[in-house]
Amino acid sequence: MSMGRDFGSKIGSGGVATASEANVQRRERLRQLALETVDVTQDPYFMKNHLGSYECRLCLTLHTNEGSYLAHTQGKKHQQALARRAAKLAKESSVQPLEEKKRAIKKKIVKIGRPGYKVVKQRDPDSGARSLLFQLHYPNISSNVQPRHRFMSTYEQRVEKRDEKVQYLLFAAEPYETVAFKIPNHPIDRDPERFFTHWDEEKNLFYLQLFFKPDTLPGQTQQPGATMGTKMEEEEEGEAAYEVEEGEDTGSP
């Protein structure tokens, strides 16, 4: 065996590379790969200084060219610094106070007045229960809008004196003003057959039918003024002329 070559190397080869030579070759391969695949301009830690050299703002290192910088980003030091940075950001974000929820911005809609209405007052001949049928006309209602309604007590408004004997039935439909009707504060029968609403899109008419619970129960004496076996009907028409200003803690119907 010839004594002119290193142990373990092949004939004609340059010998086994040392650790430092292998490290240089590895960095060169990483540099070439990074040059082909990485765009340094998108790296937030890459900076070119006034001397024409390049800096890593994360590790505070100087580099003569882009390839050297890219090789540095693949190294252990830079990768560990990235991990520490990510852990710090995660810790800071976990203790940040909750941001105050943004309040919804109400749409500003120009009101065009109050709708016309018709109210029919009836009494059920069998049970004696009083009934109200509301019909409201919205000829210029906004597209894809259906009138809404809700009941409101006198304690939720700031226009009239509070009265436990009455309540309000509100109707709303853009761009019309929200209007309300004052009705007796009696229990309302919520049976689907006795309480219902209907929106006629062709005629732009909104109907609401409600029945109050009967004044007397079967077998009890009828209260004065109630006429059993007859159907009383009264009609009232016009433009809804009563508007309720609601309290701050109460929304529209």
Residues β-bridged to residue 131: 122, 211
How much is the pLDDT for 252? Answer: 42
**Residue 15's pLDDT is what?**
61
Which residue type is seen at 84? Answer: R
pLDDT in the model for residue 231: 43
Percent of the chain with pLDDT over 70: 69
Residue 69 has pLDDT above 90, yes or no: no
Is the predicted pLDDT of residue 220 greater than 50, yes or no? no
- Please give the full DSSP string across 164-204, using - where no structure is assigned: TTEEEEEEE-TTSPPEEEEEE---EE--TTTSEEEEETTTT
Q: Where are the domains of the chain?
A: 19-86, 116-216+229-239
pLDDT at 225 over 90: no
Tell me which residue of 125, 123, 145, 141 sits closest to 133, measured CA to CA. Answer: 123
pLDDT digit string, tens, across residues 84-126: 888 888 887 766 565 666 676 666 777 888 999 999 998 888 8
Residue 51: predicted pLDDT: 83
d(CA 43, CA 136): 65
Reported as a pLDDT band with limits 50, 70 and 90, residue 253 is low
Q: How many CB atoms sit inside 10 A of residue 14's CB?
A: 10
205: nearest Cα among 107, 86, 115: 115
What was the pLDDT predicted at 195?
Answer: 92
CB neighbour list of residue 157: distance below 8 Å, 6 or more residues apart: 168, 244, 245, 246, 247
Give the pLDDT mean for 40-54.
Answer: 82
Is the model's pLDDT at 160 over the cut of 70?
A: yes
What pLDDT, on a 0 to 100 scale, did the predictor assign at position 13? 58
Residue 224 has pLDDT above 50, yes or no: no
What integer pLDDT is reported at residue 200 of this predicted model? 93
Q: Summarize pLDDT for 133-145 with one digit per residue, the tens.
A: 999 999 998 888 8
| CATH top class, domain 116-216+229-239 | mainly beta
